[in-house]
Structure 1
């Protein structure tokens, strides 16, 4: 973002697409950075914040002359950056040229940070959950070889074994492998932290010719012909709209929402329904709503000694007078 400030200062009215390509990021990421920059300044005095905005096509910096002093990393920011850079430099599977470039960058940061760099040397970070998996995926991509993985599917709630022809690594909150899954005979995204075991096979990777998807709008983009599901959530369930792509969310009188979304695997939303408990329910399609109620009743029955579960009502799922999520 520091480089972005310099870039924009020298290019008034730069196009959003051109700037995104220059920095190797998506337009979505660029706009997110532009939403942060106006809150940045060179001190806590006020009056020196960056006045940068965009109309969606071009970017304008309205006060470059008023903010003449270049932005600098604070000590905390420098320490955080050094710790993260050293951790990435030690990541298994990192290409040697990238490791060398990163090591040079760390040396420059240490020189610029001065005394602050000494504190960063006493802190370490590792990527134990994904490090070895990342190394094997990176190797498979480099050598164009197929992978065997043991993978936990959150939608199915079970461990599966698959052979995958890797296509690319992508990151959005988590690191994902995009690959051609030989089990489903389709393109799939696999979260690296859900890979329980992995092997690089002595088989050439041979995915069918595929056009790489534009992921600037996110990893999950349901198709127009995917089944439609309607959820009604109370105020405590409004978080669903922040984590699930949806077509529409309508306000309800009690402060909740009616959420309409599409998914290729409606049954995968049963886990969401159980998690919501009394804070939400599936209302359509009717078959899925009934399946959610019966699944919740069966789950609650596991907590019973000899008492049968009550019949689910229209406002939630009950057992022994308590709503699911209240007492279970």
Structure 2
């Protein structure tokens, strides 16, 4: 399975935390822990020293290896900020203030954590001066708003079952399900992992696709399950899943960065021929519609025909729509 830039970035961020706690770690053990070859790990270690804690490259990570062990020479200074006093430029202060205000609005945040965050934000606003005024014009919201995150979090804490009405984009339908929530996590979006009583299997639900949620007076009783390893991303196709081939032009090359795939072969026009596997090929119809003229499904033929039919139906709706 080819590794995307998103996968590699996620792995390298985890690698920083992992190495800080394991001074002198063995290369083979770290590679095994992250499920990569030693060559891939050494390649990552070659990139990390070009990263730092400042948007402008200050405090670069001082990490090196002799091929057998890995050392991080300034781990403590980078982590606790003792390397040098914190100085924020205007764009850095703005980004930090916007993020802090957004996080403070998250439902489910403990009151003492929210109070501490608001106090820190107030101090930063005072130090930022006019930059704080500029940041106040920006606003960020999270998909987990609207009570869904809070209800799921409460259900997990109280070990209670949930009734949800969930939208499945691949099937374009709403279904009612009783689920026993297991944990909340974020991989790009916020999800709840739960035992679905309708399918009698572990399922993952994206919070912004929950149309309705109700906390039931029924104890949650999921079977004992090992937590899924999400280090390689949420979608991890199996070798037995159906194969899909997609061809994209230069404007659709982003597909290879966002979809786990087995192969991405260069095409003469600057595009890619991407081979991937998915347990539910029908979900890729929406990708085909999104790509428009920048890509098409090549195989399997039934899926390609289905995508063309969906595109024709969409165009027909536009033709029937009254003129504005």
In terms of mean alpha carbon deviation, does 288-297 or 194-203 score higher? 288-297
State how far apart, in whole Å, the 1-side matches of 2:85 and 2:22 are: 18
In terms of mean alpha carbon deviation, does 223-232 or 68-77 score higher? 68-77
Is the Cα–Cα contact under 8 Å of residues 162 and 215 in structure 2 kept in the other structure? yes
State how far apart, in whole Å, the 2-side matches of 1:86 and 1:145 are: 31
Choose the corresponding residue for 1:70, options 84, 93, 101: 84
In terms of mean alpha carbon deviation, does 104-113 or 173-182 score higher? 104-113
> In the comparison of the two structures, how many residue pairs are matched?
287
Is the Cα–Cα contact under 8 Å of residues 147 and 165 in structure 1 kept in the other structure? yes
Which structure would you say has the larger RCO, counting Cα contacts within 8 Å and 6 or more residues apart?
2
Choose the corresponding residue for 1:107, options 103, 112, 119: 119
Match in the other structure for 1:324: none
> The residue matched to 2:290 in structure 1 has which SS?
helix
Is the Cα–Cα contact under 8 Å of residues 52 and 59 in structure 2 kept in the other structure? yes
Match in the other structure for 1:315: none
Match in the other structure for 1:317: none
1:267 is aligned to 2:282: yes
Deviation, 1:231, is: 0.8
1:151 is aligned to 2:162: no
Is the Cα–Cα contact under 8 Å of residues 106 and 144 in structure 2 kept in the other structure? no
Of Structure 1 and Structure 2, the greater helix share is in 2
TM-score normalized by the length of structure 2 = 0.72
1:51-90 correspondence to structure 2 within 5 Å: 51-53=61-63, 59-61=70-72, 69-70=83-84, 72-74=86-88, 76=90, 77-78=92-93, 80-90=95-105
Match in the other structure for 2:315: 300
Choose the corresponding residue for 2:144, options 122, 130, 133: 130
1:244 is aligned to 2:259: yes
| Unpaired stretches in structure 2, ≥5 consecutive residues | 1-12, 37-42
Deviation, 1:267, is: 1.1
Is the Cα–Cα contact under 8 Å of residues 14 and 60 in structure 1 kept in the other structure? yes
1:178 is aligned to 2:193: yes
1:220 is aligned to 2:220: no
Is the Cα–Cα contact under 8 Å of residues 164 and 180 in structure 1 kept in the other structure? yes
Kindly report the root-mean-square deviation, in angstroms, between the aligned alpha carbons of the 2 structures.
4.1
Change (3 A) 1:200 1:258: same
1:116 is aligned to 2:131: no
State how far apart, in whole Å, the 2-side matches of 1:207 and 1:239 are: 38
State how far apart, in whole Å, the 1-side matches of 2:70 and 2:196 are: 41
In terms of mean alpha carbon deviation, does 132-141 or 108-117 score higher? 108-117
Deviation, 1:41, is: 7.2
> The residue matched to 2:199 in structure 1 has which SS?
coil
Change (3 A) 1:37 1:133: farther
State how far apart, in whole Å, the 1-side matches of 2:194 and 2:87 are: 38
